[in-house]
């Protein structure tokens, strides 16, 4: 029955035992308490809680006279924000609160008139502009350390407000606190922090700290220091120190001493050796106890160190990985902590060269960032020129209105790709990500004139073939000329981190890889296998394309066989190469899935060449090509439909796969290939293809082939296949959800055509996100859940996976984990992201 | 403990009390028992059950001596099949069993030598060919009533078999029975009856009937008679009678008397008046007691009538309706029975002219029967010629490789449509069914050369513009020249039957109707409203098309408004016309849903005309048209996506609909239009459009329009809309499942492109049926059930319907009833079928 409810404490002194929390007083207050607990030389500091600051904003002021009194006789203080997360921002700090005519007079004696003038003048200006909200132009003084300048600003203040400049330190502090509390509620501040992920009710704390002067007699000054390289993350002592200065100067004055031996000037280490050593001593303790690389803000007052603040060192993604791994290796944090400190998306920056963050950017236009990384090259408008440039060792940016399978060779040869049409899952985007080539699609701001070989920008500039441009596929920016680059960074720390990720993650990660080059990347990034090998890309090399076309034009099954017999050894070698590179890891081969007409030429020249190659009249070739064209190729005769209509293709592929497996066995590295049937919508389709393929295997065995094994599965990419997964599973040892097509069909939305309106749709929040980019859990996801449940009910040990473009997204991986999938498969360059994301998920679920 | 298990009765006499059933002894045996019960003069008849016949086939013979003995002294008998359903067929009857040398000698005395020779000879031949399976050529006799001829065949028999012709009647009967029992198990018989829907284990009964001779002294002969016209179903006495003949003559001998005063010969009525009167007396009793129009097979033996058999009169679909309605009107059967006796599909024959079933057919090629009915006309290869012919009153058959929206005017003007490409739900098929124009699509046997205006048939014939052809859209046959036609028959009986159907059915039937002409057909067929009015067809008239194109080319919202302002009054009048025709019945208007590029010209000439109309350079127009072309238009910017991207179109349409409703109110016939949003995949799409449309209504009301009401709903045609129906229902007062698109997207299969392989797929049983033709219950159906359940959970009073092409199928109607839908909507010409199918369903569920 004691009256324990006291009036809430408006403020408290930051002591080792004070009740200070990140969620009540903000990160800066909490960090300062940690410094105090380490017994660092921190000036006396008071903290105002989120609640106290909210009260202030609403007019309930704390006892500022009592606050000022805590600091002793005639103190100067500074006020700084302390939000929960430093990224959420906050109002700017105000220094020298408490200065007035009397204190100024004292300071003149103590530190000299000029320095005293600068301090008073600084406060009056800041107060006038940021607290009293007066016009900054009024407070421009001729020379900022003269008595005349000080008189000018004090006078200007009185003129503008009709009151003298407040002399009572308690009044000054009250007004500063109110101004900062209210700024937190301004629209701009709200928008900015909301963009950084702050909740709408994020609170602000404030700290009031006794000023350490940094100006005056003896060694005095202020600086900041940290002990790690912000770009590489390697140990390094970096910072600067300015004599006779107060903290928070933005410009670097001339009397600055660089920390770390810098050619630009004399060294802090040499000049102020005691303080430097003291800081270095503290650095180890800080890193150990705060479990982070910190930047320390400090003041030297007559030779004595004061630590004012410490914040997490800003760093590049690469440095982030290096720091986290070093902390874990030193036993300061756990490996799981190190994993959680790296955002999966940040890893993509390390896989490709990037534009140097500090470089100038001359932006010409913007498009959709479709494949990360940056590259510079000469503009080319066709694949042949890109290949010719590559032969001369010259980098190209391949520019097309949209790409078709005929451009694949050019995309291989180019350093970057730019298209006017398309979305994140358009042909150009998918292929570029697979190749790891930077790519921008849907750049509707520019007009591409392929005939004139020119790009027309929105502001009327014309860029012609051969001019140099830079494509930033990470940001979607198209830049004029060359840009300074930062190289890719898959160093030891990167590999360590990912191996720790593999130790904890619970879902498999494979790569989508079509070619030996893709497979090599996948293997390098330690994918656990190939989850999707699209065989149709194997047919685009010129010699094969011609044979493929002959096959399509064959009038009989026998003629088709003759053409396919020529493709068989090529396919077999493709598979041997792939199996070899993957060194025993599983490879899932999707049978041919391309609308036939995509193999055929689209241009007049192409038709002419084809007619010549086939030795048939142009008119006949044109008519045949026309006859197999489709209104909606995506919904036409492709995948298993073609496999059933022209069984010879799948038979040849199965034979090539089996013969490759037999060859691997002969070499002493036996291999069990996985064969996947695309675009299934009915159980019977699977039965028919299974019969064909089992037949090929039986025939090979009957003809004395050494024994081999294989697994047959189905790619679930139509809504019906998901709904009928129970039936389909009866003949499939695995199901892989192809979320690109499944999304297309669930929405009734072509990924190639969605680009035209998707950005508008997302802007209007019609779709919360582009469903080709972020898996739609509500629609597509429900079909996947239904499919997974039915498949497992029919065949409990069935292997389930996702192999669409979504496979590398942390959100999709979370979905697949929750649905109990065995693995995800994504483009090779997403494998590290997926491995880390899967680890995050496993840790967060523990 | 009595020994009640007797040896199974091998055969029994057909008496009024014998235990004879359709499922044990077959339809003929049962019908004969009914005749016996009516006390008709039926000769003594024995029946063998299915089991007994099966025993015979397996070699367990009945006591044929005892059977023959039942018929008294030296009888002649005939054996006929009695399968459960007459459509399932059976072996041919065998007459004169029991004849031998001795009986032949008796007959020579009794009926004369020639007649006796004919009878013996007939039996020997039938026995030799059909029982002993000897070569028919051996049994050709020079003159079939001569003793020489008889000797010839008896001799031939002995030569071939090395045994004399069997003289024991019991042996003859045993062999005949065994032969017929075994024939039933033959492959051909199995296949034939399986095609008529017989189960694999269908049984055969046999009847053995004492012969009434029909030859001999006095008035003797045989004939058949029925009392209804087989084509019209109206009362009429029809048949034929041949003196001195036995039943089952296939050719009509010269001494035939036609029944019913026939110009071809003397009349039975005049010549054999007593028997005629007796038959007419029996006819009324038969109709009353057998509750069916029967054909009676009879023999006159020395002036006395013997009734041998009675079967259901074969009839046209039209006669079937007339007979059923007459029986119900006479109180002989119930109205429900009358409904059940008419197959819904049979009604389609009555809605369109058909090729006379008796006419010769000179088939040129076959395609997919896409819109029922038949028409003759001159070949034309473009819409303009079809319109020109129509202006001269001349019928055309419009031939196109495939139709596009630009062909709609031509299809209106043509009498029939033929396309080389496409499936049952291709553009041509859908439009033709809507118009009621006979149509064949996917006629891949022929090659159409539009430039030369010629058709090339598979056997090398060339048909040129202006030649006459006939299109049978019911069978899919393309005929050379003109064919004899039977007119459409929507007579009183047709209307009575459908009004009875309306009395019992429990699900609503609306029509899909886009134009006033469609609406008039829908109203004529008593649809309960329009369930789907596709407004895009309203934009294909030349004057509107130009304005629509101007709208598409407009650079600003203001310019788009200007173009749409010109379309507004046209649209308003469209809707006033529709509302007027439907006379207060509901009309559900689907907002514009067409890929923009479909409105644009596809040909070089069209582009040129457009450039002229718009007064812009051809190059610009070509480029713009190219820029909005899509890879997969079906999955592109159409439906609600266009409505959100260019809101002006939907705003104009809503305004036109509301202004039309206001005008109806002004005329004293207030009207509540239904507005439907197409191609929805997310709830927010509905919210945005609803906001727009409610805004238009609010604006009209604010500007003093008299009050009006409307309902807003959603067309569910993407799998996602079905899955998210719960969300979507929050803003929709009705949901209509568009099963065409829903099927497309569930299967990932374009209806326009499926034609190329669908028949192969169905042949190989990959799909049990074309899912565009027969609703796929397992996949598409499950999505509909999910959607319906979720929509109702969110909004219990929501109105649910189906408006795809499946809407008129009895199977789909059953599905919709089971799912608790409120109505189905189908093309106007399917409305009668749907009304009857719904009635069948309601009756069968009682």
Smallest Cβ–Cβ distance between A719 and the set B719, B750, B764 belongs to B719
Whether pLDDT at A395 is above 50: yes
Lowest mean pLDDT among A482-491, B79-88, B589-598, B644-653: A482-491
Selection from B360, B212, B367 nearest residue B298 by Cα? B212
User: What distance in Å separates residue A635's CA from the closest CA in chain B?
Assistant: 4
Lowest mean pLDDT among A158-162, A401-405, B208-212, B508-512: A401-405
Sign of CA dihedral B350, B355, B359, B360: negative
Selection from B37, B98, B67, B31 nearest residue B297 by Cα? B31
Whether pLDDT at A723 is above 80: yes
Counting one residue from chain A and one from chain B, the pairs whose CB atoms sit within 8 A come to 167
Instruction: Find, in chain B, the residue whose alpha carbon is nearest to that of A752.
Output: B631
Residue A29 has a CB neighbour count (10 Å cut-off) of 26
What does the pLDDT read at residue B578? 94
Q: Give the number of residues written for chain A.
A: 846
DSSP structure class, residue B817: H
Smallest Cβ–Cβ distance between B757 and the set A637, A688, A776 belongs to A637
DSSP structure class, residue A785: H
Q: What is the mean pLDDT of residues A653-675?
A: 95
Token look-up 């999955």 returns: B635
Rounded to whole angstroms, how far apart are CA atoms A533 and A578? 9
In this prediction, residue A155 has a pLDDT band, given cuts at 50, 70 and 90, of very high
Token look-up 């720091």 returns: A323
Residue A290 has a CB neighbour count (10 Å cut-off) of 16
Chain A residues within an 8 Å CB radius of B717? 748
Instruction: Find, in chain B, the residue whose alpha carbon is nearest to that of A744.
Output: B635
Mutation target to probe the B interface, by most B beta carbons within 10 A, among A449, A594, A719 is A719
Smallest Cβ–Cβ distance between B633 and the set A631, A746, A760 belongs to A631
What does the pLDDT read at residue B548? 82
CA B368 to centroid of chain Cα atoms:
14
Smallest Cβ–Cβ distance between A688 and the set B635, B764, B776 belongs to B764
Q: What is the mean pLDDT of residues B99-105?
A: 95
Rounded to whole angstroms, how far apart are CA atoms A46 and A210? 9
Q: What is the pLDDT of residues B397-430, one digit of tens each?
A: 999 998 887 788 788 889 999 999 888 778 888 8
Q: Tell me whether residues A641 and B757 touch, CB distance under 8 A.
A: yes
Q: Give helix B113-126 / helix B101-111 axis angle, nearest 10°.
A: 140
Chain B residues within an 8 Å CB radius of A682? 766-767
Token pair of B3 as six digits: 């020994």
More confident residue, A143 or B25: B25
Whether pLDDT at A721 is above 90: yes
In DSSP terms, which residues pair with B734 in a beta bridge?
B713, B799
What is the phi/psi pair of residue B562, to 5°?
-60, -45
Q: What is the pLDDT of residues A9-43, one digit of tens each?
A: 679 999 999 999 999 999 999 999 999 999 999 99
The SS3 call for residue B751 is helix
User: What distance in Å separates residue B519's CA from the closest CA in chain A?
Assistant: 30
Q: What is the pLDDT of residues A183-235, one digit of tens each?
A: 998 888 888 888 888 898 999 999 999 999 888 888 999 999 999 988 788 99
DSSP structure class, residue B129: I
Rounded to whole angstroms, how far apart are CA atoms A26 and A31? 9
What does the pLDDT read at residue A599? 77
Q: What is the pLDDT of residues A505-535, one digit of tens each?
A: 999 999 999 888 889 989 999 999 999 999 9
**At A300, which helix (H) or strand (E)?**
strand A294-301
Q: Which of B119-123, B457-461, B537-541 ranks highest by mean pLDDT?
A: B119-123
Q: What is the pLDDT of residues A727-774, one digit of tens each?
A: 999 999 999 999 999 999 999 998 878 877 888 888 888 998 889 889
Chain A residues within an 8 Å CB radius of B602? none
Rounded to whole angstroms, how far apart are CA atoms A469 and A478? 7
Chain B residues within an 8 Å CB radius of A635? 632, 634-635, 744, 748-750, 753
Token look-up 């929960």 returns: A84
User: What distance in Å separates residue B795's CA from the closest CA in chain A?
Assistant: 20
Q: Tell me whether residues A723 and B746 touch, CB distance under 8 A.
A: yes
Q: What is the mean pLDDT of residues A117-136?
A: 90
Instruction: Find, in chain B, the residue whose alpha carbon is nearest to that of A782.
Output: B723
Q: What's the helix, strand, coil split of chain B in %, to 5?
A: 50, 20, 35
Reply yes or no on whether A427 is catalytic. Answer: yes
CA distances B3 to B6, B7, B10, B12, Å, are: 8, 11, 19, 21
Chain A residues within an 8 Å CB radius of B765? 684
Q: What is the pLDDT of residues B726-762, one digit of tens each?
A: 999 999 999 999 999 999 999 999 887 887 788 888 8
Q: What is the mean pLDDT of residues A790-798?
A: 97
What does the pLDDT read at residue A142? 67
Instruction: Find, in chain B, the residue whose alpha carbon is nearest to that of A679.
Output: B748
Q: Tell me whether residues B753 and A779 touch, CB distance under 8 A.
A: no
Residue B147 has a CB neighbour count (10 Å cut-off) of 15
Q: Tell me whether residues B767 and A636 touch, CB distance under 8 A.
A: no
Half-sphere exposure of A749 (CA within 13 A, CB side): 31
Instruction: Find, in chain B, the residue whose alpha carbon is nearest to that of A633.
Output: B632
The burial class, CB within 10 Å (0-12 / 13-18 / 19+), for B543 is: exposed
Rounded to whole angstroms, how far apart are CA atoms A240 and A221? 11
Q: Which residues contact A258 (CB under 8 A, 6 or more apart)?
A: A239, A240, A241, A264, A265, A266, A267, A268
What does the pLDDT read at residue A251? 55
User: What distance in Å separates residue B634's CA from the closest CA in chain A?
Assistant: 7
Q: Tell me whether residues A783 and B749 touch, CB distance under 8 A.
A: no
In this prediction, residue A246 has a pLDDT band, given cuts at 50, 70 and 90, of confident
Token pair of A280 as six digits: 């270095």
Q: Tell me whether residues A749 and B635 touch, CB distance under 8 A.
A: yes
Tell whether ipTM is more than 0.95. Answer: no
Q: What is the pLDDT of residues B658-668, one digit of tens each?
A: 999 999 999 99
- Catalytic annotation, pick one of A78, A364, A803, A826: A803
In this prediction, residue A2 has a pLDDT band, given cuts at 50, 70 and 90, of very low
Pair A557, A551: CB distance under 8 Å = no
User: What distance in Å separates residue B624's CA from the closest CA in chain A?
Assistant: 12
Q: Give me the active site residues of B, please.
A: 427, 803
What does the pLDDT read at residue A407? 83
Pair B275, B220: CB distance under 8 Å = no
Chain B residues within an 8 Å CB radius of A725? none
Rounded to whole angstroms, how far apart are CA atoms A779 and A786? 11
Q: What is the pLDDT of residues B702-729, one digit of tens each?
A: 998 788 999 999 999 999 999 999 999 9
Chain A residues within an 8 Å CB radius of B746? 681, 718-720, 723, 745
Q: What is the pLDDT of residues B265-281, one digit of tens each?
A: 678 888 899 999 999 99
Q: Tell me whether residues A637 and B753 touch, CB distance under 8 A.
A: yes
**At B277, which helix (H) or strand (E)?**
helix B273-290
What is the phi/psi pair of residue B223, to 5°?
-170, 180
Q: What is the pLDDT of residues B224-247, one digit of tens each?
A: 999 998 878 999 998 889 888 887
The SS3 call for residue A672 is coil
Instruction: Find, in chain B, the residue whose alpha carbon is nearest to that of A641.
Output: B757
Smallest Cβ–Cβ distance between A636 and the set B684, B753, B764 belongs to B753
Q: Tell me whether residues A635 and B744 touch, CB distance under 8 A.
A: yes
User: What distance in Å separates residue A696's CA from the closest CA in chain B?
Assistant: 20
Token pair of A768 as six digits: 């919360």
What does the pLDDT read at residue A264? 65
Q: Tell me whether residues A764 and B685 touch, CB distance under 8 A.
A: no
pTM above 0.95, yes or no: no
What does the pLDDT read at residue A187? 86
What does the pLDDT read at residue B257? 76
Half-sphere exposure of B9 (CA within 13 A, CB side): 13
More confident residue, A616 or A784: A784
What does the pLDDT read at residue B658? 97
Q: Tell me whether residues B682 and A767 touch, CB distance under 8 A.
A: yes
Rounded to whole angstroms, how far apart are CA atoms B477 and B443? 9
Rounded to whole angstroms, how far apart are CA atoms B332 and A589? 69
The SS3 call for residue B597 is helix
Chain A residues within an 8 Å CB radius of B741? 748
User: What distance in Å separates residue A631's CA from the closest CA in chain B?
Assistant: 7
Pair A502, A806: CB distance under 8 Å = no
Percent of chain B with pLDDT over 90: 58
């Amino acid at each position: 029955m004691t009256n324990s409810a006291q009036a809430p404490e408006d403020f408290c002194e930051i002591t080792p035992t004070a009740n200070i929390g990140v969620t009540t007083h903000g990160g800066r207050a909490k960090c300062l308490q940690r410094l105090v607990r380490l017994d660092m030389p921190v000036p006396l500091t008071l903290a105002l809680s989120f609640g106290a600051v909210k009260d202030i904003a609403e007019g309930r002021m704390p006892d500022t006279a009592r606050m000022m009194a805590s600091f002793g006789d005639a103190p100067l203080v500074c006020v700084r924000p302390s939000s929960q997360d430093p990224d959420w921002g906050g109002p700017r700090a105000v220094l020298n609160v408490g200065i007035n005519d009397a204190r100024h007079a004292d300071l003149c004696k103590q530190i000299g008139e000029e320095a005293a003038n600068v301090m008073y003048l600084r406060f009056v200006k800041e107060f006038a502009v940021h607290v009293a909200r007066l016009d900054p132009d009024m407070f421009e003084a001729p020379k900022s350390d003269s008595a005349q300048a000080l008189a000018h600003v004090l006078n200007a203040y009185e003129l503008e407000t009709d009151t003298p400049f407040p002399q009572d330190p308690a009044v000054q502090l009250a007004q500063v606190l109110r101004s900062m509390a209210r700024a937190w509620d301004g629209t701009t501040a709200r928008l900015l922090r909301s963009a950084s992920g702050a909740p709408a009710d994020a609170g602000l704390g404030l700290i009031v700290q006794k000023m350490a002067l940094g100006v005056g007699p003896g060694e005095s000054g202020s600086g900041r220091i940290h002990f790690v390289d912000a770009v590489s993350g390697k140990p390094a002592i970096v910072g600067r120190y300015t004599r006779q200065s107060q903290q928070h100067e933005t410009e670097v004055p001339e009397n600055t001493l660089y920390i770390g031996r810098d050619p630009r000037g004399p060294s802090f280490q040499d000049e102020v050796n005691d303080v430097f050593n003291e800081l270095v001593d503290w650095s180890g303790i800080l890193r150990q106890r705060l479990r982070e690389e910190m930047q320390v803000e400090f003041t030297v007052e007559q030779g004595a160190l004061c630590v004012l603040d410490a914040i997490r060192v800003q760093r590049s993604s690469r440095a982030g990985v290096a720091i986290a791994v070093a902390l874990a290796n030193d036993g300061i944090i756990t490996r799981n902590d190190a994993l959680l400190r790296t955002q999966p998306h940040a890893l993509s920056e390390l896989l490709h060269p990037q534009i140097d963050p500090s470089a100038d950017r001359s932006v010409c236009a913007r498009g959709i960032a479709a494949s990360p990384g940056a590259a510079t090259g000469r503009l080319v408008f066709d694949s042949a020129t890109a290949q010719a440039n590559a032969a001369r060792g010259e980098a190209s940016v391949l520019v097309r209105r949209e790409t078709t399978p005929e451009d694949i060779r050019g995309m291989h040869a180019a350093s970057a790709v730019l298209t006017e049409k398309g979305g994140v899952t358009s042909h150009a985007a998918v292929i570029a990500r697979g190749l790891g080539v930077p790519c921008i699609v849907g750049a509707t701001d520019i007009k591409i004139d392929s005939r004139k070989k020119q790009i027309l920008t929105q502001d009327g500039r014309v860029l012609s073939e051969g001019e140099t441009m830079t494509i930033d596929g990470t940001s979607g920016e198209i830049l004029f000329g060359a840009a300074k680059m930062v190289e890719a960074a898959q160093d030891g720390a990167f590999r360590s981190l990912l191996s720790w990720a593999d130790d904890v993650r619970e879902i498999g990660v494979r790569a989508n890889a079509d070619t030996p080059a893709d497979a090599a990347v996948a293997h390098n990034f330690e994918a656990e296998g190939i989850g999707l090998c699209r065989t149709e890309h194997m047919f685009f090399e010129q010699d094969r394309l011609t044979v493929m076309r002959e096959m399509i034009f064959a009038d009989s099954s026998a003629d088709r066989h003759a053409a396919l017999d020529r493709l068989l050894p090529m396919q077999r070698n493709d598979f041997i190469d792939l199996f070899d590179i993957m060194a025993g890891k599983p490879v899932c081969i999707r049978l041919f899935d391309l609308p036939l007409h995509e193999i055929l030429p689209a241009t007049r020249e192409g038709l002419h060449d084809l007619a010549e190659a086939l030795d048939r009249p142009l008119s006949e070739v044109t008519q045949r090509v026309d006859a197999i064209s489709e209104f909606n190729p995506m919904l036409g005769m492709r995948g298993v439909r073609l496999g059933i209509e022209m069984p010879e293709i799948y038979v040849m592929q199965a034979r090539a796969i089996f013969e490759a497996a037999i060859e691997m066995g002969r070499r002493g590295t036996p291999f069990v290939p996985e064969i996947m049937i695309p675009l299934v919508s009915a159980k019977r389709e699977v039965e028919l293809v299974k019969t064909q393929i089992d037949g090929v295997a039986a025939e090979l065995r009957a003809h004395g082939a050494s024994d081999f094994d294989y697994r047959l599965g189905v790619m679930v990419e139509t809504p019906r296949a998901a709904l009928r997964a129970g039936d389909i599973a009866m003949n499939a040892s695995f199901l892989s959800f192809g979320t690109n097509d499944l999304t297309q069909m669930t929405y009734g939305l072509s990924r190639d055509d969605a680009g035209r309106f998707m950005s508008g749709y997302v802007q209007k929040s019609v779709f919360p996100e582009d469903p080709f980019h972020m898996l739609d859990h509500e629609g597509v996801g429900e079909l996947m859940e239904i499919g997974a449940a039915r498949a497992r009910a029919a065949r409990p040990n069935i292997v389930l996976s996702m192999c669409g473009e979504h496979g590398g997204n942390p959100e999709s991986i979370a979905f697949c984990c929750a649905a109990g999938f065995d693995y995800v498969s994504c483009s090779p360059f997403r494998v590290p992201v997926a491995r880390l994301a899967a680890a995050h998920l496993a840790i967060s679920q523990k």
